[in-house]
């Protein structure tokens, strides 16, 4: 057998392997563990959204949608962005519907980054970012954010910027840390982007999941940023339907045209009946829905943080997302991967070992585990019963 057929993987994917989310969910199923690893709700999103999608399926909304997004969804998204943040986008040229935020990120990088351009990622990062940069032939540079507060060190970011830097990928609220970048931090990033003429790809999928009265601020609203920012979000998190894979991107027309150049060949268009049903449901639910979502997640966050602290983990409570990163040094002396393996096999709780989200400083991640709390009260209570056994170990 030739190497080409026995080992056919293209070199650009060799550094990556299978995603940690698939690996841990598989282990959770194998060991019948409670799955606090992959971030998906174990409850349904609003019935109203399902009803509208079912109706759209039954009323001839089943052929290709407009490549850039069904006009009803594009209109609902544009209205929402203006109502929430005062950001106005032209519906036909500045909004793009994609197959999840993942596709929006990949199409943005493919559409905006040239081979050998450098792209700055904050580390720990969401795992698709370095892979998207590799697909575009770009080079990722990593700006560390460190446990426990994951504060931005402006000089570390500035030091990474050079003549080849094309873009910064920002993610706030931030997965996996739960950090919400402060206005001052966003201003630092915005000022550097303007000064060095950089693009910003801003992944805001957790925009509605912020706690303790903190609110989300899109970086596109900062001076000089509208023309250089692609703002990305997704229905998966906001409406609790991660399997539907509907995402979107807002940005100035030239940026969105570049992202569309990739999108038209990556998927061309996104599932029509879901776009139509989601648009109608969004119009009916309005922005009041977001307050209820936030309140229910705040309770889950508090429950999870209390539990982890009682069990012997160290953490600072996440300001956003549905994840908490916790240090386990008082409980276990090995690596995050070893502890995650022990937890899934012997305690029956699956988590994410976050060293998978580091390239430059993997030792930072090796002392942490990520817990997802987008789960029902029953699941969280069952997990707490299992995890409490850890604090009783000799």
List contacts with ligand GLN (CB under 6 A).
19, 21, 38-39, 175
- Smallest separation, CB 101 to ligand GLN (Å): 9
Nearer to ligand GLN, 228 or 370 (CB): 370
Nearest to 183 by CA among 213, 209, 141, 219: 219
Contact, 248 vs 97, CB < 8 A?
yes
Nearer to ligand GLN, 39 or 277 (CB): 39
- Smallest separation, CB 51 to ligand GLN (Å): 26
What is the spatial distance between Cα 210 and Cα 328, in angstroms, rounded to a whole number?
25
Nearer to ligand GLN, 38 or 270 (CB): 38
Nearer to ligand GLN, 74 or 304 (CB): 304
- Number of other residues whose CB lies within 10 A of the CB of residue 8: 8
* C-beta nearest to ligand GLN: residue: 39
Nearer to ligand GLN, 172 or 272 (CB): 172
Nearer to ligand GLN, 15 or 224 (CB): 15
- Smallest separation, CB 237 to ligand GLN (Å): 8
Nearer to ligand GLN, 250 or 357 (CB): 357
Stretch (H or E) spanning 229: strand 229-234
- Smallest separation, CB 94 to ligand GLN (Å): 26
Nearest to 241 by CA among 25, 40, 33: 40
Stretch (H or E) spanning 348: none
Could you tell me which residues come within 8 angstroms of residue 321 by beta carbon, excluding any fewer than 6 positions away? 173, 174, 175, 176, 178, 206, 209
- Smallest separation, CB 35 to ligand GLN (Å): 10
- Smallest separation, CB 202 to ligand GLN (Å): 16
Helix (H, G, I), strand (E, B) or coil at 320: strand
- Smallest separation, CB 36 to ligand GLN (Å): 10
Nearer to ligand GLN, 247 or 273 (CB): 247
Stretch (H or E) spanning 252: none
Nearer to ligand GLN, 175 or 231 (CB): 175
What is the spatial distance between Cα 66 and Cα 59, in angstroms, rounded to a whole number?
17
- Smallest separation, CB 272 to ligand GLN (Å): 23
Could you tell me which residues come within 8 angstroms of residue 188 by beta carbon, excluding any fewer than 6 positions away? 152, 154, 157
- DSSP structural state of residue 346: I
- Smallest separation, CB 100 to ligand GLN (Å): 9
Whether the bond between 317 and the residue before it is cis, its omega within 30 degrees of 0, is no
- Number of other residues whose CB lies within 10 A of the CB of residue 393: 9
What is the spatial distance between Cα 305 and Cα 310, in angstroms, rounded to a whole number?
9
What is the spatial distance between Cα 28 and Cα 36, in angstroms, rounded to a whole number?
9
What is the spatial distance between Cα 318 and Cα 85, in angstroms, rounded to a whole number?
22
CA angle 387, 389, 394 (to 5 degrees): 130
Give the burial class of 256: count Cβ atoms within 10 A of its Cβ; 0-12 exposed, 13-18 middle, 19 or more buried. Answer: buried
């Amino acid at each position: 057998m030739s190497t080409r057929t026995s080992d056919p993987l293209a070199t650009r994917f060799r550094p990556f392997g299978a995603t940690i989310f698939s690996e841990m969910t598989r282990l959770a199923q194998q060991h019948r563990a409670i799955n606090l690893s992959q971030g998906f709700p174990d409850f349904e999103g609003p019935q109203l959204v399902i009803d509208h999608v079912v109706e759209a399926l039954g009323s001839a909304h089943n052929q290709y949608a407009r490549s850039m997004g069904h006009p009803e969804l594009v209109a609902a998204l544009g209205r929402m962005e203006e109502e929430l943040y005062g950001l106005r986008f032209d519906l036909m040229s500045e909004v793009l519907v994609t197959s999840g935020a993942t596709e929006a990120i990949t199409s943005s990088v493919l559409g905006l980054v040239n081979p050998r351009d450098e792209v700055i990622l904050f580390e720990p990062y969401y795992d698709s970012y370095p892979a998207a940069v590799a697909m575009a032939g770009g080079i990722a540079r990593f700006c560390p954010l460190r446990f426990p507060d994951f504060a931005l060190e402006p000089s570390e970011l500035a030091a990474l910027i050079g003549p080849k830097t094309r873009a910064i990928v920002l993610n706030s609220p931030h997965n996996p840390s739960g950090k919400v970048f402060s206005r001052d931090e966003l201003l630092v990033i915005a000022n550097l982007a303007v000064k060095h003429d950089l693009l910003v790809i801003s992944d805001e999928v957790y925009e509605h999941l912020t706690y303790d009265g903190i609110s989300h601020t899109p970086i596109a609203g900062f001076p000089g940023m509208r023309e250089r920012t692609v703002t990305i979000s997704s229905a998966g998190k906001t409406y609790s339907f991660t399997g539907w894979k509907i995402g979107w991107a807002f940005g100035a027309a030239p940026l969105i045209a570049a992202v569309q150049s990739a999108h038209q060949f990556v998927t061309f268009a996104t599932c029509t009946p879901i776009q139509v049903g989601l648009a109608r449901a969004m119009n009916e639910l309005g922005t009041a829905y977001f307050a209820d979502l936030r309140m229910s997640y705040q309770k889950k966050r508090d429950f999870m943080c209390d539990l982890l602290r009682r069990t012997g983990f160290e953490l600072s409570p996440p300001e956003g997302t549905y994840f908490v990163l916790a240090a386990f040094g008082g409980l276990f002396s090995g690596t995050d991967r070893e502890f995650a393996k022990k937890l899934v096999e012997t305690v029956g709780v699956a988590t994410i070992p976050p060293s998978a989200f580091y390239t430059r400083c993997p030792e930072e991640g090796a002392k942490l585990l990520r817990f997802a709390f987008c789960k029902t009260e029953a699941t969280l209570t069952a997990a707490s019963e299992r995890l409490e056994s850890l604090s009783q170990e000799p």
